[in-house]
Amino acid sequence: MQMLLFLALAALLIGLSKGGLGGPVPVSLTAPLLSLVLPEAKEAVGIVLPLLLFADLFALYFYRGQWDMAYVRLMLPAGIVGVVFGTLLLAVLPKEAFLQVLGLFTLLAVLYKLSSDWIKALAYRPRRWHGVFAGGASGFGSALANVGAPPFTAYMLLQPGMTPLKFIGTTTLYFAIINALKLPGFVLSGVLNAQQALLIVLVLPIVPVGVWAGRRALPYINPRLFEGSLLLLLFILSLVLIF
């Protein structure tokens, strides 16, 4: 029952994120939370994947046609390489090492979010290899810990003429593709299995409820307060996992 409750919470957090509430921060919470209750901690990354794929369908519908394919084409090849290496490492990491790596990635996500305003203010000259590096790092982080957003968003926020809608649309398409590419490796490595799939089916309806709730709550909730509360929880979880 405890496992099902935590999985339902993960589905709700993913839905809220895809509905526009909290950006990628709610998704970053899911693997650390589930790793605390799963017997095999690394399965926390795998069991979240079908929920992300289901939520991606809604996000792709909402932001259809708003993406910039030039950025996707630039970053995706390196992102695929990152997914392969991240999945291979995830499959062989022992439990204690995985928990520490997950905690470190979670902490990095918090630090990135706190410094995002500073990053946007940087004097920056775009270089093609920056996009390649960001794609590889985001694919690796996404496969290893479901924390692929920081390098991707840091690169995108620094691009000249990047509008909020283009940013959200491109992020949505890129990570929908990355998430789909993770599926075969997760199944083959055993990080995602049939027993988990049965649990996931039970909580899938919560995802669209979360998407709806996220979109409806946007005008009524202070986004900085909501995001700040989640960041504090993320920070605490990262320390628990590392130490």
Residue 80 pLDDT > 90, yes or no?
yes
Which DSSP state fits 221? S
Radius of gyration of the chain (CA): 17
Spatial separation of the C-alpha atoms in residues 102 and 145, rounded to whole Å? 6
Q: Which pLDDT value is given to residue 132?
A: 92
Chain position carrying tokens 């027993």: 195
DSSP alpha helix (H) spans, the chain? 2-18, 25-35, 43-62, 69-92, 95-114, 116-120, 128-145, 149-157, 164-189, 194-203, 206-217, 223-242
For the beta carbon of residue 98, count every other beta carbon within 10 angstroms.
Answer: 22
Q: Is the dihedral of CA 71, 75, 79, 80 positive or negative?
A: positive
pTM for this structure?
0.85
Contacts 24+ apart (CB under 8 A), 219-227: 221/21, 223/21, 223/22, 226/21, 226/22, 227/22, 227/23, 227/25, 227/113
Give Cβ neighbours of residue 87 (< 8 Å, ≥ 6 apart): 143, 144, 182, 185, 186, 189, 191
Average pLDDT, the chain: 84
What does the block give as tokens for 26? 């709610």
The pLDDT tens digits of the residues spanning 199-239 come to 888 888 999 888 888 877 777 777 777 777 888 888 888 88
Q: Which pLDDT value is given to residue 121?
A: 63
Residue 176 pLDDT > 70, yes or no?
yes
Q: Is the dihedral of CA 88, 187, 55, 228 positive or negative?
A: negative
Spatial separation of the C-alpha atoms in residues 159 and 181, rounded to whole Å? 26
Domain ranges of the chain: 2-242
Q: Which pLDDT value is given to residue 234?
A: 83
Q: Which pLDDT value is given to residue 124?
A: 64
The pLDDT tens digits of the residues spanning 100-132 come to 888 888 888 788 777 766 766 666 677 788 889
What does the block give as tokens for 202? 């039970």
